Structure 1
Amino acid sequence: MKDLGHGANVNHIAKMYDKNPKDIIDFSSNINPKVIQGLEKYILEGLSECRSYPDINYTNLRNNISKYISVKSDFIIPGNGATEIIYLLMKSIGKRLAILNPTFSEYERSAKLSGLEIINLNLNEKKQFSIDLEDIKENIEKFDSLFICNPNNPNGKVKDLTELLNLMIQNNKLLIVDETFMEFVAEEEKYSLVKYVQRYENIFILKAVTKFFGMPGLRLGYGLTSNKEIIEKIHNYKEPWTINSFADTLSNHIFEDKNYIEDSKKYYIKERSYMLQELRNIQNIVVYDTDTNFILIKLNDRRSYEIKVELLTKGNILIRDASNFIGLDDSYIRVAIKSHEENEILIKHMKNVLGD
């Protein structure tokens, strides 16, 4: 299998370093450590549905998502994780795509596989990876669609995209926004563009259950747009039955669990503050602000691969070497925010490896 350069490769790393995968604390993948109450019961409920094909139109699933985000079910395209939607979308849009980097590598990979022309634009690293609107304006005739992650992976900072959206509307361009980490943001409603989906056809939003609901193995994501042409094209390409009965059944419950949602948001507001403060007590690193469940760190005089190996061999801790993000180099690492106990272990070992 080709190494696609993502995190969450615990089994591969464990084999390389002769470790038990269960002993490794995975800070390379950004997953909510909290578990939905009653999850086992819901899984058994889904198991009972497995002797029948899932509804090919995912009517129940789309209705559940519709109630959760207040968007018409006709504008919701469920997928086998947000990644399936990304790959379908690349087959369904104009041939010129601009991507704001550094960001998730599957945007570029899926675009290349669909034969799109890619224009790589850059976020401003010196200003917390802010958007350079002037740069986008200067290049606006070079692309049909613009892809941005908000909050952005790998730095985790959320942005107000109102000006960018207006620019895209004025120039009749498509704005694609990956909001798979948006639910971790304290002021989610302020920053999310979901509220504009039904008003403007210039928006396509990606969402997922993977991160916030802590179930990457469920593989449930969805796209949102009122652009009927894109919806029709995606359905023309989409394979049938890519979402299983477990995901469909769990959608009856997880979106309704208000306590889980509120507790998770409160936890991350508090734990982000703790992690940022503790990490900034370590010398010779730069810790970037974050609004989500991971933190980007720049090493002043060490290399990302060296630190990754040291943390793994000395502390059974797996972090994300961020050197393969476009626009970053081998001085960057990314760490997830996990349970408080696991975060304490990470801080302790990072202090040992990097010095107080």
Structure 2
Amino acid sequence: MKDLGHGANVDFMAKAFNKNTKDIIDFSSNINPKLIPNLEKYILEGLNKSTSYPDINYTSLKKNIGNYININPEFIIPGNGATEIIYLLMKNIKKRLAILNPTFSEYERGARLNNLEVINFMLNKDDEFSVNLDEIEEKIDEFDSLFICNPNNPNGKVKNIEKLLELMSKHNKLLIVDETFMEFVYEEEKYSLIKYINKYENLFILKAVTKFFGMPGLRLGYGVTSNKKLIENIYKYKEPWTVNSFADTLSNYIFNDKDYINNSKAYYLKERKYMLNALRKIKRLKAYDTDTNFILIKLEDKKSEELKLQLFKKSNILIRDASNFVNLDESYIRIAIKSHNENQLILKELNRIMGE
């Protein structure tokens, strides 16, 4: 299978270097290390329901998500991870798609597989990856839809993009916003565009359940839009039963666990500060500001692949080589923020290698 250039390639790396996967600490994938309470109980309930087909209309699932984000369930399209929604969306938008880079590579891959023309804009990495609204407006006639990740992957910084939404609406362009990491933001209600779904039909938002709730293998994501025509067209392409009984069952519980949600947000607020303060004491690297559960780092005098191999071979630590993101180079890595003990371990190893 072709290497798609993502993190979380633990099995491949373990096999390549003859290591046990259980010994590897995966800092390459951005997942909440905290597990939802009573997870085993919910999984068992899902197992008992797996002898029947899931609800083909996702009625309960959409209702649970709608209650969670305070949105009409009819505006919600559940999927097998947010990635399924990305690929369905690419089949249903006009031919010219603009993408703000560096960002998640599946936007461009999904676009090109569906014969869309891709127009790349670059975030300003010298200004915390800021958006150049003037440039977008100057070239507004060159594209039909624009894709932005907020908070952005790989740098993790959240932005207020209300002016971008107004600009896109003014010119009758579709704005697609990937908010799959928005729940890690401490005051997400200030930045999430979910509150504008009813007002703007040119807005499509992607969300993922599995990152914040620490279950990427569950594969549960969803799209949100009030554009009924777009929803109808997406369902024409959507395969039936792509969301399994486990995900459907868990949706009855996880969104209501306010303690888990608030504790996770508080943990990341504290741990981000700890990690950034510690990283900025290491002289030969630059750590970018983040509002999520991962940190982008620029190495001063070492290549990302070299550091990745050093950490993996000696310490069983797997990081994300970020050199394959558009507009980044071989000096960039990305690391997840994991448990405090695991974070202490990677900081110690980075100090050993980069702090000399």
* Shorter-chain TM-score range: over 0.9
1:353 is displaced (CA, Å) by 1.1
Q: Which residue type is aligned with residue 296 of structure 1?
A: L
Q: What is the alpha-carbon distance in structure 1 between the residues aligned to residue 138 and residue 335 of structure 2?
A: 34
Matches within 5 A, 1:24-43: 24-43=24-43
**TM-score calculated relative to the size of structure 1:** 0.99
Counterparts of 1:101 and 1:248, CA distance in 2: 33
Whole-Å separation in 1 of the counterparts to 2:98 and 2:210:
25
Question: Counterpart of 2:198 in structure 1: which amino acid?
Answer: Q
**Deviation for aligned residue 1:62:** 0.2
Which residue pairs with 1:259 in the alignment?
259
Q: SS at the partner of 2:342?
A: helix
Whole-Å Cα distance in 2 between the matches of residues 178 and 109 of structure 1? Answer: 15
**Alpha-carbon separation, structure 2, partners of 1:139 and 1:15:** 47
1:48 aligns to what SS in structure 2?
helix
- Deviation sequence 1:163-200 (CA, Å, 0-9, x none): 10000000000000000000000110000000001111
Q: In 2, Cα distance between the equivalents of 1:199 and 1:57? A: 25
Aligned counterpart, 1:147: 147
Structure 1 distance, partners of 2:327, 2:230, is: 30
Does structure 1 residue 228 correspond to structure 2 residue 238?
Answer: no
SS of corresponding position for 1:126: helix
1:208 aligned residue = 208
Aligned counterparts of 2:316 and 2:279: Cα–Cα separation in 1: 19
- Other-structure match for 1:272: 272
The aligned counterpart of 2:121 is 121
Alignment partner, residue 239 of structure 1 = 239
SS at match of 1:323: coil
The Cα shift of 1:134 comes to 0.9
Question: Which residue identity does 1:242 align to in structure 2?
Answer: T
- In structure 2, how many angstroms separate the alpha carbons of the residues matched to 1:188 and 1:195? 11
Q: What is the percentage of aligned positions where both structures have the same residue? A: 70
Distance 1:108 1:74 in 2: 28
SS in 2 for 1:296: strand
Which amino acid letter does the alignment assign opposite residue 196 of structure 1? Y
* Equivalent position SS for 2:176: strand
CA distance in 1 between counterparts of 2:107 and 2:319 reads: 22
SS in 2 for 1:328: coil
**What CA deviation, in whole Å up to 9, does each residue of 1:246-273 have, x standing for no partner?**
0000000000000000000000000000
What does residue 136 of structure 2 align with? Answer: 136
For 1:311, the equivalent position in structure 2 comes to 311
Gaps in structure 1 of 5+ consecutive residues:
none
Task: Give the Å deviation of 1:210.
Answer: 1.6
SS of the equivalent of 2:55 reads: coil
What is the deviation of 1:70? 0.4
1:159 CA drift (Å): 0.2
Indicate the residue corresponding to 1:23 in structure 2: 23
**RMSD (CA atoms):** 0.5
Alignment partner of 1:252: what SS? coil
Which residue in the other structure is 1:99 paired with?
99
The residue aligned with 1:171 is 171
CA deviations on 1:313-343 (whole Å, 9 max, x unpaired) are: 1111000000000000000000000000000
The letter for the 2-side match of 1:79 is G
Q: State the SS of the aligned residue for 1:205.
A: strand
C-alpha separation in 2, matches of 1:312 and 1:353? 12
Q: Which amino acid aligns with 1:108?
A: E
